Structure 1
Amino acid sequence: MHGYIAQLVIGFTLAWTGPIIPKLQDPIETPLSVQLSDTQLSLVASIFYVGALPGPYIMGWLSNVKGRKPCIIIAGVVSTTAYLILAFSNNLAMIYCGRLLIGLGLGCVGVMNFVYIGEIASTNIRGILLTIIGIFQTAGAILAYASGLFLSYVGVTSVGFFLAFIFTIFALFLPESPMFYVLKGEDASVRKVLEDLGRPNDIDEMITSKKEFINSTAKKDWKELFTDADNRKSLTILIVGNIFLQCLGIIPSALIGEMFKTNVRSKGSAVAITSSWVFGFLVTTAFGSLIDIIGAHVLFWFFSCSSALAVIFTHIYIPETKGKSLLEIQTFKT
């Protein structure tokens, strides 16, 4: 359930500028004392992605050092704080600051949510859980637009604050990921968490897998991400998939929680999600200008062709993960 709340926050935040930018343009509804230019409004939308870029890398390191749960809590606190800043903004600098900070928060939430769900879910339901969260992300976006119809700038932003706050509170009661305990060699903790999650049959396999990570270090993990054939293949698939993210929706993100080996999962996820943020920034920043330069019809023909290429790419390169354990998926042997 917590993962679904996370996606509500992500969906709401990604759509926040939809109802908010018209309010910033309205002399009556805007909390600002000046009229914003088109460039400034565009930056309000796109600066979010700049803030999101370091999030996955911070979490990629911290999640292997302190655990998945503390990282999720930190991400929630950052997101909640960002919405507070946005709610009380009375100048453009505060809005930029809030958008940068919410980008950082969601950069952290995005990577940790998929990694965490991918690690705690059992094989038979993992794919379903990772896919259903896309519905909640869409629901979050719908909530943002619906709120914009009836609420003021502060009201809409307050909805985002309460979603982020609830996410943070729920995070306090999450169990730690068993994979973190595998990395730390804490067999007793692995057993306890898996038993609490109703996965006693996975205990032996997961404890056995720790042999791969006995000599693991951050430097070795980064090197392995790019030199190991399986990890490199996973990374390539996810980066290309994230370029097609506008066409494939949540699927590339869902795969993030399944594709990498345990010791490099957070780092590989960080690189993959970064590609999504970078592409999102480019699309958001350039969309308005491209419509003026080449016309909307050309731009949407481009998106149509991208969708067709995405279908071909998916059929040829993206592996079926249904019913497979994480170890089976990571080696592409079944």
Structure 2
Amino acid sequence: MDLDGFRVAFGRKYLLLIKVFTSELTALKVLIRFSLCIDGSLSRRSPRPRKKKKCELNSCEEGSRVVNIGQIIVGYSVGWSAPIIPKLQDPDQTPLPDLITDFQASWIGSLLYIGAMVGPYGTGFLSNHIGRRPCLMIGAVLNIVAYILVVTTTNLAMIYAIRIVSGLGMGITIVGNIVYVGEIASTHIRGILLTSTSIVGITGTLIVYAVVPFVSYVATGWIALAICLLHIVSLFFIPESPVYYAMKDEDVKTAKTLHLLGRSSDVQKILETYSNKKKASSLKDWIEIFTIKSNRWSLFITFMLGALQQLSGVAVVLFFATTIFELAGSSIRSDIATIIIGVTRLVSSLIAPLFIERSGRKILLLCSMMACALSLAVLGLYFYLDRIQSDVLENIGWLPLFALIIYFFCYEAGFGTIPNAIVGEMFRANVRSNGSSLAITLTWLVGFALTTSFTTMVENLGGDVTFWIFGGSCVFSFLFTLFCVPETKGMTLKEIQDMLS
């Protein structure tokens, strides 16, 4: 098929997503190889010299590409505990003087949420005063600090500190990226670029699953540090959000930035929407989240979608993937199974951008949620058969992996990616950072409670009941989306707020 035929078949927007995704992977390949060389895992050959290219970021797609490097670190941080916990329980691999207990392992998994819940609030305040881009840089610096601690780890307290600091950086990066991309993107590709943040995050988790089990603990820090340094350097070359300039009544900078982003036709619309407003205090911005109807609805919708995401058990599986396969007694090696799941997540996450601007957000969410419910019911059935010691188990050792592949394939095709796009479309401009921060951190509070209680749930309820509860939450998610979540396909940010009012 020729290029024109390919464009017709899959659409220019999908090609754009592939371009963003593949360019980031190319850079990552070089960085990972360099990091592994430091640990001695690969040969120390010097990389070939490359011709320098002029760094010129002149479109919202390229700006999105840069901030998505931060999403790779987010995904890396989320998946880091799964292969690291077995290393910390192995006397030949741990950098600690003593092996960690199962209770300590559960805290290593869940402490990420503590930092993530706190992180966004300071930048939620600062983003309206110093800009969106400086806040992204703050998150990048915190990520660097976290992985310096990984490289220098000597005791358990440092592991806990790594997870908290990493959570701080993660919280700032996620909220900052969603707000920034939502404001720089034009209406017809906003959904695609916002879902791309989730896709690239999954790439970071896949890197953890595919590389970390086979390198030393210290090497995991060098890999992340290389990506972090690329991220913070790249942030110096992206423009500030045009919405931020418009809110500050800096019309010339607003127009110049929109021109750089390829959105010259939107200058008048952005200025009319966001400039010449009466300046509100930070306290008033917070109050408006609850006093203005559209903001209240935005908070309700984004929090509920996020909380139901967590209650589907996704964080539990990501943090304790290796442990879950060992617990299930699956016939497939746990480290191989987690890699297969990572690849499945990545492939399936490419589905949402293909259809999000065609079929809309809502139908993808509904299909995804129902399929997740069915796959978790099957996983619960396997644990039930294991509990009653059924003879059938000998012939279905593949079932846990199969159920989780179906779960993640369906989850990332809608439930795992589209809520991020919806968060980026909600709230009025003056409260968008604060509102997004509040919704996401409330969501992480649910995730923290769930991850810290997972081992207790399995011990007291059994794996079958635990996963059936997760499946039941997916059914509730389906009903909530059906009756409460609006369709925002093709609407401007102002039109969405008018609809919610």
TM (norm. structure 1) is 0.97
CA deviations on 1:127-148 (whole Å, 9 max, x unpaired) are 0111122221111111101112
Q: Which residue of 1 aligns with 2:126?
A: 62
AA aligned opposite 1:263? N
Compute the displacement of 1:207 (Å): 0.5
Query: Secondary structure of 2:127's partner?
Result: helix
AA aligned opposite 1:238? T
Tell me, yes or no, if structure 1 residue 310 matches structure 2 residue 477: yes
Contact conserved, 2:89 with 2:100, CA < 8 A, in 1?
Answer: yes
Provide the rounded CA distance (Å) in 2 between the counterparts of 1:333 and 1:227.
Answer: 13
Q: Please show how residues 91-110 of structure 1 align to structure 2 within 5 Å.
A: 91-110=155-174
CA deviations on 1:58-88 (whole Å, 9 max, x unpaired) are 1100111100011111110111111111221
Q: Which residue of 2 aligns with 1:125?
A: 189
CA deviations on 1:175-200 (whole Å, 9 max, x unpaired) are 00001111111011110000110101
Closer, same or farther: CA 214–93 of 1 in aligned 2, 3 Å? same
Q: Which residue of 2 aligns with 1:277?
A: 444
Q: Which residue of 1 aligns with 2:433?
A: 266
Provide the rounded CA distance (Å) in 2 between the counterparts of 1:88 and 1:254.
Answer: 37
Q: After alignment, is 160-169 or 97-106 more displaced?
A: 160-169
Compute the displacement of 1:333 (Å): 6.3
Tell me, yes or no, if structure 1 residue 253 matches structure 2 residue 317: no
Provide the rounded CA distance (Å) in 1 between the counterparts of 2:477 and 2:426.
Answer: 19
Provide the rounded CA distance (Å) in 2 between the counterparts of 1:279 and 1:250.
Answer: 18
Q: Which residue of 2 aligns with 1:72?
A: 136
Contact conserved, 1:87 with 1:157, CA < 8 A, in 2?
Answer: yes
Provide the rounded CA distance (Å) in 1 between the counterparts of 2:119 and 2:460.
Answer: 33
Tell me, yes or no, if structure 1 residue 20 matches structure 2 residue 84: yes
Q: Which residue of 1 aligns with 2:463?
A: 296
Provide the rounded CA distance (Å) in 1 between the counterparts of 2:450 and 2:500.
Answer: 36
Q: Please show how residues 180-329 of structure 1 align to structure 2 within 5 Å.
A: 180-211=244-275, 213-246=277-310, 247=312, 248-329=415-496
Contact conserved, 2:294 with 2:500, CA < 8 A, in 1?
Answer: no
Closer, same or farther: CA 125–260 of 1 in aligned 2, 3 Å? same
Provide the rounded CA distance (Å) in 2 between the counterparts of 1:4 and 1:52.
Answer: 18
Provide the rounded CA distance (Å) in 2 between the counterparts of 1:104 and 1:203.
Answer: 35
Contact conserved, 1:213 with 1:263, CA < 8 A, in 2?
Answer: no
Contact conserved, 1:86 with 1:99, CA < 8 A, in 2?
Answer: no
CA deviations on 1:79-116 (whole Å, 9 max, x unpaired) are 11111112210111111112111111111101001000
Q: Which residue of 1 aligns with 2:109?
A: 45
Contact conserved, 1:56 with 1:108, CA < 8 A, in 2?
Answer: yes
Aligned-pair identity (%): 42
AA aligned opposite 2:209? Y
Q: Which residue of 1 aligns with 2:74?
A: 10
Runs (4+) of structure 1 exceeding 6 A deviation are none
**Residues paired across the two proteins, number:** 334
Query: Secondary structure of 2:128's partner?
Result: helix
CA deviations on 1:8-66 (whole Å, 9 max, x unpaired) are 11111100000100000000000001121222111111111111122111110011110
AA aligned opposite 1:130? L
Provide the rounded CA distance (Å) in 2 between the counterparts of 1:16 and 1:88.
Answer: 16
Q: After alignment, is 61-70 or 3-12 more displaced?
A: 3-12
The higher relative CO (CA closer than 8 Å, separation ≥ 6) is in: 1
AA aligned opposite 1:63? S
Provide the rounded CA distance (Å) in 2 between the counterparts of 1:145 and 1:40.
Answer: 21
CA deviations on 1:235-266 (whole Å, 9 max, x unpaired) are 00011111112442132222111111000001
Query: Secondary structure of 1:173's partner?
Result: coil
Provide the rounded CA distance (Å) in 1 between the counterparts of 2:277 and 2:444.
Answer: 30
AA aligned opposite 1:102? S
AA aligned opposite 2:429? T
AA aligned opposite 2:465? V
Contact conserved, 1:127 with 1:321, CA < 8 A, in 2?
Answer: no
* Structure ID, larger Rg: 2
TM (norm. structure 2) is 0.65
Provide the rounded CA distance (Å) in 2 between the counterparts of 1:223 and 1:139.
Answer: 37
Q: Which residue of 2 aligns with 1:155?
A: 219
Compute the displacement of 1:212 (Å): 6.8
Query: Secondary structure of 1:231's partner?
Result: helix
AA aligned opposite 1:51? G
Provide the rounded CA distance (Å) in 1 between the counterparts of 2:238 and 2:142.
Answer: 18
Provide the rounded CA distance (Å) in 2 between the counterparts of 1:325 and 1:38.
Answer: 48
Provide the rounded CA distance (Å) in 2 between the counterparts of 1:223 and 1:201.
Answer: 33
Contact conserved, 2:83 with 2:209, CA < 8 A, in 1?
Answer: yes
Contact conserved, 2:144 with 2:228, CA < 8 A, in 1?
Answer: yes
Q: After alignment, is 176-185 or 309-318 more displaced?
A: 309-318
- Tell me, which stretches of 5 or more residues in structure 1 are unaligned? none
RMSD: 1.4
